[in-house]
Structures are given as C-alpha cells and as structure tokens.
Amino acid sequence: MDSITSWIGLIAAACTSLSYIPQVRKALPRGSTSDLSLKMLAVLTSGLAMWVVYGVLKTDWVIVVANTVGAGLSGAVLLCKLRDLRSSSKAAAKQVNASDQL
C-alpha cells in the first residue's frame, strides 16, 4: 500500500462496504423490510458475490475484502427480507384459516 491510488481504493472500498450497516440495523427488527425490494437485494447480493470471485481471480484483495463485507451485509438484509416475507405469509394463512372457520 505505497501508492496514493491504493489508499484511495481502500478508503472508497471502506466507505461503500460500510454504507450497508445502517440498512442492516434498520432491517433487523421483525417486519421492518416491507419497503425494500426483494429483487434488488437478490441482484445486489449476487453482484457483490461475483465481484468477490472477480477480485480473487485478479488477486486484487481490496476488491475481495470490500465486496465480501458488502455481500455479507447485503446478504443479511436479504435474509431479513425473506424472514419478513415468510412471517407475513404465515400470518396471512392463519387469518384465512380463521375466517374459514367462522
């Protein structure tokens, strides 16, 4: 890490990777992901995972580390979204079953 270019890349990687933290904190409470797009989260997480593979193949560890962190955090939000979708589906099914019994 002796060049200014490497430092700029490292700082940019830290900023973009860590920018997911507020979204993860917001998504952790149950039912708090209704305004997030499942498709966007799936595509974003997949894209970040592909960047990790690209970085490994190019042996560019700044790309690998930054996108591993980003994919992990984005994946956490994706899992929260899937959890909330499953919970809302179960709640809807219970409501339908309850109304059928009336």
Q: How far is CA 44 from CA 23, 49, 50, 53, 88, in A?
A: 14, 9, 10, 14, 23
96: left (phi over 0), alpha (psi -120 to 50) or beta: alpha
> Does 90 count as an annotated binding residue?
no
Binding-site residues for ATP sit at 94
Binding-site residues sit at 94
